[in-house]
Amino acid sequence: MRRLCTCHYDYNIKDFQQFHDEDTYVLDFIQLIVSGIANGCVYGLIALGFVLIYKATEAVNFAQGDFMMLGAFLTVGFANQQFFGLSFWLAVPLAIVVLALISGAFDATVLRRMAGESQVSVVILTIALGFILRFAAGTIWGHEPVSLETPFAGADVRLGGVVLGVDEIATILVTLLLTALLYLFFSKTKLGLAMQAASQNMLAAYYMGVPVKRVQTLVWMLSGAVAAVAGVLFAARGAIDPSAGLLGIKAFAAAAIGGFGSLPGAFVGGLIVGVIEPLAARYGPAGVAQIAPYAILLLVLAFKPGGLFSQTQAKKV
């Protein structure tokens, strides 16, 4: 009798252990998904900057990731005690405004002189701008990682066995809100429609009374503001250094996956890249996480060259 009870007891232990392992596996998977979504939101915001400029000017700004990095450093400079020591809630809008002005000034003083030049020349110019921004950030703030002091640092919310950082929740909510607002702006407002008209045919838009140069500068300012928001969210979740601007390469992949010209596509592409990275790192071979986003990009372009949310439009001439 005692032997039967012992066997039954051992069976229950094994059954409980199996259930516990499965439960831990599920929680670990959910945690990876949530973290990937938060990272993907940052990629998505940078990708939104790519799409904004492309929609209005048909140019690709390869310095968009470096604008994100600069926005993060501006916030750090305004908020941290060793610099200006402003309130976090004052430092964030100030950094957004400053980066928007820097981005608009770049268009007004440099890109306007490139009018009529090939798109390749503009791409090379933005790549050079990225190097300059990384050098400037390293000179001012140094090359060691710097953390942003935020009111919600270390705070988290527990849902069952899943731990959600307040910074992750804020990143997801802000990205959703900003994507929705930009989509409505471009599809419902006169200025947004004017921006798209200028990208389709600058000369026709000019004859219709659209101030093309001013509109393009506003687009660059808007793109800089979005990059600053992405920088704040990125810095709030970890340390920032000048090389963080290279995240723009992954964000470019996200924009291409979603489809250039589509704001929701940029957001979805960012989520895809953000989620695939931690899953590949956790369950895939060593090093596969570094190439997983670009493998997804190749697959998407092979079967749908315009991206998942491609918006094919014919130009009016």
Q: What is the pLDDT of residue 177?
A: 92
Look at residue 202 and tell me if it is in a domain: yes
In one-letter notation, the amino acid at residue 57 is T
In which band, very low, low, confident or very high, does the pLDDT at 239 lie, cut at 50, 70 and 90?
confident
- Which residues, 6 or more positions from 105, have their beta carbon under 8 angstroms from its beta carbon? none
Across 163-179, b (16+ Cβ under 10 Å) vs e yields: ebbbbbbbbbebbeebb
- Sequence-ordered alpha helix ranges (H) in the chain: 2-57, 64-79, 88-109, 119-141, 166-188, 190-200, 202-207, 212-236, 247-258, 263-283, 288-303
Q: What is the pLDDT of residue 201?
A: 64
CA 55 to mean position of chain CA atoms:
17
- The residue segments making up the domain with residue 60 are 38-245
- Residue 162, pLDDT > 80, answer no
Q: What is the pLDDT of residue 12?
A: 52
Tokens representing 307?
């991206």
DSSP SS3 for 287: coil
List the one residue out of 3, 52, 71, 5 whose CA is nearest residue 229: 71
Q: Give the separation between CA 95 and CA 97, rounded to whole angstroms.
A: 5
Q: What is the pLDDT of residue 207?
A: 63
Q: What is the pLDDT of residue 203?
A: 63
In which band, very low, low, confident or very high, does the pLDDT at 149 lie, cut at 50, 70 and 90?
confident
Q: What is the mean pLDDT of residues 255-282?
A: 90
51 vs 194, which has greater pLDDT? 51
Q: What is the mean pLDDT of residues 130-144?
A: 93
Percent of the chain with pLDDT over 90: 39
Give Dmax (Cα) for the chain. Answer: 97
- The β-bridge partners of 146 are 240
In which band, very low, low, confident or very high, does the pLDDT at 84 lie, cut at 50, 70 and 90?
confident
Chain segment 99-109, per-residue pLDDT in tens: 999 999 999 99
Helix 247-258 with 64-79: angle, nearest 10 deg: 130
Q: What is the mean pLDDT of the chain?
A: 83
List the one residue out of 304, 223, 303, 300 whose CA is nearest residue 254: 300
Look at residue 129 and tell me if it is in a domain: yes
- Residue 95, pLDDT > 90, answer yes
- Structural domain total, the chain: 1
Look at residue 274 and tell me if it is in a domain: no
117 vs 133, which has greater pLDDT? 133
- Residue 20, pLDDT > 60, answer no
Q: What is the mean pLDDT of residues 132-144?
A: 93
Identify the residue whose tokens are 């310095």: 63
Identify the residue whose tokens are 């190749």: 298
The pTM for the full model equals 0.86
Look at residue 20 and tell me if it is in a domain: no
Look at residue 72 and tell me if it is in a domain: yes
Q: Are 70 and 137 in contact (CB under 8 A)?
A: yes
CA atoms 299, 301, 307, 311: torsion sign: negative
Look at residue 262 and tell me if it is in a domain: no
List the one residue out of 132, 113, 114 whose CA is nearest residue 67: 132
Q: What is the pLDDT of residue 97?
A: 96
